[in-house]
Structure 1
């Protein structure tokens, strides 16, 4: 088989973080920062499978015939591509343990945990979906999503692995442009189910929202009132694609610590805290109501302003819950001073990332970046902001909100991406040599992304295909 590639996006919480822990709704959306998985096939005489993930310095090879196929193929244990798996089998985890425990055994504990959790997710999916006759392959992963920043990097990788393995056993159809929406949704759900299994291996008790957004793209309204039951997930196919600034504070934080802060506040000041959580829920529902209106126009500046003002309100309520951080507030101050958009923390807070929805037009009247009263362009303002952010140790990404979910490049050839006749074949060495996010995007990026000035450059590069149920409605 020819080499092929799969890609899936990260995600941000746009509205509703922390309130969602207490049974309220949240809106999560895909971002154009993505993971990329290249599947390269080896000769039939080779009986190995390798996982190469240079971003976390993981490179490990297993003998396919030595893997515990007998455990996974027992009638009581065997799962099929169409099954719904909601928990991990402890016997299967025990069977994998000897094949995982030696990985990075002498590395620091935090590195060893990441490597072994990644390997467990890969092997659990590989043995569940494959067979002992599976082809010898190398699975090479690169990602443009900051790891550990609350942007769904692990879910993006789990989606890539799930889709690649399902494609190899021919359990997916498409994607192709005229695929009916119901068929698209079936393929996405199939990928999503197995991506959730990968997330179980990595996180133990994931909510499922990250893999759901990464699989389907666009945005979802997510709500869980009973942790003993599956959450309510409603796709928001009309959520507008918007230019987005994503700023990483590079401040480490713990989701569990930030969640515990709100729980303590609720215990000490129940009435006030519940009012704040209810207000956050109103913000989420207000955004959802606008987007769901018949005839909603995402290009209407007033609609964008409405959504942006809700971003500002949401952040203020999260500050009142005590889950912001001085670095997040500094980012917000810098962006508010530039006057270029509406900013809030995203995810657990206490560090991590801030997001900014950019204003559609910036003039001297709106921004504090003008010279001698002349209007400053968005590009000039962003360049000036970037210098200030870099000087204070922050990391800026210009991305797009609510784009495509999982995509496939089969075979791994970008049609005329570099002017070569017949297209440019992406081999493993080229992929590994790509330097940083810019190098990965230049070589295999699914879209040309957003210009420095925040304007789209023309969508998806030729060759990539996506399941897009919103187009077949």
Structure 2
């Protein structure tokens, strides 16, 4: 028995130490461009939507005596710790520099970025340059948010990231991570309310805007000049209409809350590609054949407009007719992108294999030249969740492609606090997610099984017990 004797020789129980805060988890989705890629670069409209592939961030609180903060991202081989007291708090707290969670920060402060460099440059010095860039960009985004939103009294923590979103495939993986980091840090300083089922829509919208705003700042640290569409979709979920006619002004971003949730087959070509090279290819075509290229870009804009007009109608509902309409637009959009020269033989092979089965409508998504293809899958007659034929999936895998069964236009950022997953059988307790379990989860399937937002119940994908979302 632990304790000590008082003056009368009686044994007193030792006072228990103050418990640390339980771990929490945040999750945010990736995204796909459904309509309008490349045309959007030239001032036209595009529609982007969330997908059910997500990033997950586990925040583990340490003893206050530890005085360290760690960022772990095993999927890219990053693990680094900083002494909290050594970070440049004075620079971030200087007059005119200190920002509050409600401030409208729309860009990075270069002096603050410079103050971070000694704490960034020491990361992964012996790694290949491309890996080192990823590690340092991730750390830069994290530290900029950590010092902007926190203080020297911020609790020692380990921030561990896992993602089921393919990295570098144009699916918004970095924005998803940025949203997770921004949400966790805002929650820690109690700058967010909710989420909860009875939360007023306006309040929920305000929380999403706050998360989105700081996630954009983190995206600036990673990409320099992001469009803002990826973090907007990842924060709020569902879909958005996006248009940027003047790069000196903020883009037009219109949430599309009525965009239907649809089963989606996503196929990764695993073909590396350069977004800038594909964008330059279209710019060259536009210079060489201006009238033809403009007609193609205007037609892509019209495709986006047709989809937007359909789903924003007051009487819109998802039925066979409206799904056929959206599916045909998917096919047309792909054909127009092929005309711009931004497809790839692997993308065309995927489309040919899927079209042969007749299971849905397929197009490339993102910059093209590789990357991914998406297929909106037709419903089955018995209302079960549609699945591609096994033979098709085996063929795709045998030819070196990677397949994902996802949902289009689902929830945005979500929170699991405390990080305990219940088994759904109405029994007491549940599975507490700790560092070891999270780090040892193998691949996409392992992460989804352990902490995934959705769980398959028969033929229905449902939100797992415990996860909560801001839903305007």
Structure 1 position 94, deviation (Å): 0.9
Is the CA contact (8 Å cut-off) linking 2:380 and 2:386 kept in structure 1?
Answer: no
Relative to structure 1, the CA distance from residue 392 to residue 428 in structure 2 (aligned partners, 3 Å threshold; closer, same or farther) is same
Where in structure 1 are there 5+ consecutive unaligned residues? 364-376
Counterpart for residue 357 of structure 2: 338
Alignment counterpart, residue 425 of structure 1, candidates 420, 424, 432:
432
Deviant stretches of 4+, over 4 Å = 377-381, 417-420
Provide the residue aligned with 1:462 in structure 2.
465
Instruction: Quote the residue 1:13 is aligned against.
Output: 33
Deviation at 1:44, TM superposition (A): 1.3
Larger radius of gyration: 2
Q: CA deviation at 1:76?
A: 1.0
Contact 1:412 1:425 in 2 (8 A): yes
Q: Name the residue aligned to 2:338.
A: 319
Match in the other structure for 2:272: 252
2:237 is the counterpart of 1:230? no
**Counterparts of 1:133 and 1:74 in 2: how far apart (Å)?**
17
1:97 aligns with 2:117: yes
Q: Deviations over 1:323-371 (max 9, x none)?
A: 00000000000000011000000000000000000011379xxxxxxxx
Q: Distance in 2 between matches of 1:304 and 1:462?
A: 30
> 2: CA distance between counterparts of 1:76 and 1:230?
24
Whole-Å separation in 2 of the counterparts to 1:413 and 1:38:
11
Change (3 A) 1:449 1:85: farther
Please say if 1:113 is aligned against 2:133: yes
Report what 1:212 is aligned to. 232
- C-alpha deviation, 1:378, in angstroms: 8.5
Q: TM-score, normalised by structure 1?
A: 0.93
Change (3 A) 1:54 1:419: farther
Give the whole-Å Cα distance in 2 for the aligned partners of 1:266 and 1:389. Answer: 34
In structure 2, which of residues 133, 140, 156 is the aligned counterpart of residue 136 of structure 1? 156
Tell me how far 1:217 sits from its aligned partner. 0.1
State the secondary structure of the residue aligned to 1:448: strand
| Shift in alpha-carbon separation, 1:378–1:423, aligned structure 2, 3 A | closer
TM-score when normalising by structure 2: 0.94
Between the aligned partners of 2:279 and 2:457, the Cα distance in structure 1 is: 34
- Distance in 1 between residues matched to 2:305 and 2:356, nearest whole Å: 29
CA contact (8 A) 2:377 2:386 kept: no
Note if contact 2:379-2:386 (Cα within 8 Å) is conserved in structure 1. Answer: no
Query: SS of 1:11's equivalent?
Result: strand
Q: Deviations over 1:347-406 (max 9, x none)?
A: 00000000000011379xxxxxxxxxxxxx997852111111011100000000000000
Q: Secondary structure at the match of 1:252?
A: coil
Partner of 1:28: 48
Kindly indicate whether the alpha-carbon contact (under 8 Å) linking 2:31 and 2:233 is maintained by their aligned counterparts in 1: yes
The answer as to whether partners of 1:398 and 1:450 remain within 8 angstroms in 2 is no
In the TM superposition, residue 458 of structure 1 has moved relative to its aligned partner by 3.8
